[in-house]
Structure 1
Amino acid sequence: MYPQAYIDYLAEFHGSRDYFECHEILEDHWKKDNPGERKSYWVGLIQLAVALYHQRRNNFAGAERLMANSIRILVSEKDAVESLGLDYSRFIKLLRKTYQKIKAHSPYESIMLPITDESLIKACRKQCEKKSYEWGANDPPDAFIIDKHLLRDRTEVVAERKKQIERRKKSRG
């Protein structure tokens, strides 16, 4: 019923609180569709995770911009949000409340998305168990998770950028 990538996203979001990983998981899923067929609601969820990642690192300008974009996208995707097992009204209220906290430079706090589908919660809890995460745990003070974009292995990212540069050079002639 739900894509495995979405279940994995929710398990990371509510278990490890590794928002960078949430971003990676859903971005890979989003990119599987052809560019003209990509779903904007995945972008909204990706930007939500990245906004929280930035808020946790006290990058409030980045967090504010991304949360505003996330809200803008997800407000217009009521049917999609509901089809993802989320309570639309509570979800949008939560995003707006979090946005106000970011604007006020409030310290990061973990949030729980309002999932209404018990089978989805069960699938997410099962995924958390597989990874030894505690569903709904408070944010871990793990430096690697907090600074993941600085500490991760970037070999694949650098290789992909080089490949894209070469592709653009060839297309120019």
Structure 2
Amino acid sequence: MYPKPYLNYLFHFFCTRDYFECHEIMEEYWKSVGKKRDVWLALIQLAVSLYHHRRGNFSGSVKMLDSCYTLCRNISFSETGIDQQGFLVLLREKLEEMKRGEAYRPFHIPFSDPSLLKEIYLHCARLSIDPDQMEREEMIINKHRFQKKKKGGG
């Protein structure tokens, strides 16, 4: 029902909270569908914003989430199972938190399809993944540093 890259994005978003990986997965998918689906771009922007926020880059996180919020007000989320109105409310609240310089807290995407989130969390449990533990890992917090080394060979 949902595209596999989207499900992979949600797995990383909720289970590993690896927002860098979310960005990578969704950007590749977005490009493969011809950059015509703004909903995928919005999810990319959300992941990038949260990645910056967790690292204390408030200006980058605010800029990206503001762009995401603006985009989300003008697109349809019908193919995602996301509760669009609830999502917009939570985006606005998160944006205000960031503008006030509040510390990072995980963001929970609200769904109109409850089976979607249930399946994601069941997958986390099957793999014995603790999201709170995962997001404290240096490899998750500063993944861009590790990616540069990996791609650049050292």
Q: Please give the TM-score of this superposition, normalised by the length of structure 1.
A: 0.79
Amino acid at match of 1:46: I
The answer to whether residue 38 in structure 2 is matched with residue 40 in structure 1 is yes
Whole-Å Cα distance in 2 between the matches of residues 34 and 93 of structure 1?
29
Instruction: Give the aligned partner of residue 168 of structure 1.
Output: none
Whole-Å Cα distance in 1 between the matches of residues 5 and 17 of structure 2?
16
Whole-Å Cα distance in 2 between the matches of residues 29 and 132 of structure 1?
27
CA 1:133–1:116 in structure 2 vs 1: closer, same or farther (change >3 Å)? farther
The answer to whether residue 58 in structure 2 is matched with residue 60 in structure 1 is yes
Structure 1 residue 113 displacement after superposition? 0.7
Instruction: Give the aligned partner of residue 144 of structure 1.
Output: 139
Structure 1 residue 75 displacement after superposition? 1.0
Task: Tell whether the 8 Å contact from 1:55 to 1:102 is kept in structure 2 after alignment.
Answer: yes
Give the 3-state SS of the residue equivalent to 2:56 in structure 1. Answer: coil
Q: Percent identity?
A: 35
Whole-Å Cα distance in 2 between the matches of residues 155 and 28 of structure 1?
20
Whole-Å Cα distance in 2 between the matches of residues 151 and 73 of structure 1?
30
Give the 3-state SS of the residue equivalent to 2:132 in structure 1. Answer: coil
The answer to whether residue 82 in structure 2 is matched with residue 110 in structure 1 is no
Runs ≥4 residues deviating over 4 A: none
Whole-Å Cα distance in 2 between the matches of residues 71 and 9 of structure 1?
19
Amino acid at match of 2:143: K
Amino acid at match of 1:62: G
Give the 3-state SS of the residue equivalent to 1:138 in structure 2. Answer: helix
Higher alpha-carbon Rg: 1
**Comparing 110-119 and 12-21, the one that deviates more:** 110-119
Instruction: Give the aligned partner of residue 49 of structure 2.
Output: 51
Q: Which runs of 5+ in 1 are unaligned?
A: 157-173
Instruction: Give the aligned partner of residue 12 of structure 2.
Output: 12
Task: Tell whether the 8 Å contact from 1:8 to 1:124 is kept in structure 2 after alignment.
Answer: no
1:105-130 CA-partner distances (Å, limit 9, x unpaired): 11000121101213322432344345
Q: Please give the TM-score of this superposition, normalised by the length of structure 2.
A: 0.89
